[in-house]
Amino acid sequence: MRRARASWREALGGIALCALPLLGSCAGEDAPPLARLQWGAIDVMVETRPSPPEPGNTEVLVLLTGSHREPIHDALIDLRARPDAPWVQAIQDGHTGAYRRAVSMPAQIAGANLTLRLRRGPNEETFLVPLIATTRSTGVQ
């Protein structure tokens, strides 16, 4: 009986060891944030997926953290990538300080801005974040 348990542990350990490289390959490439902003005592980090942003629907991820690195989960975030586009509200991802939303990017990324409207209690601030177009194959801006 003990030998059977040991065999299962060894087998599971071997499978886990083989699976680790596969998990790393699923993570995707690390991309720098589109912007790091300061809103009072709150750090605001903006990322896009894909990164760099492409024309059409692109996921925008906004991370809010307080001065002690605690997640800020009671804010409202509206986004748009064109001045004539309607605002879309980012959806809070649990109480983690992460807010997500697909945003329609313009056909011409270069020179365009992502507009963020942040609201928390009576405080409101609007930020313009330049969209950066990069050629994926060469990494040249």
Q: What pLDDT does residue 23 have?
A: 41
* Domain assignments of the chain as residue spans, ordered by start: 35-130
Residue with the two structure tokens 């930020």? 127
State if pTM tops 0.75: no
Q: What pLDDT does residue 5 have?
A: 57
Residue with the two structure tokens 């586009």? 85
User: Are 116 and 62 spatial neighbours (Cβ–Cβ below 8 Å)?
Assistant: yes
pLDDT tens readout for residues 59-102? 999 999 999 999 999 999 999 999 999 999 999 999 999 999 99
- Spatial distance between the Cα atoms of 108 and 53, rounded to a whole number of angstroms: 11
pLDDT tens readout for residues 29-50? 566 789 999 999 999 999 999 9
CATH topology of domain 35-130: Immunoglobulin-like (2.60.40)
- Spatial distance between the Cα atoms of 34 and 85, rounded to a whole number of angstroms: 20
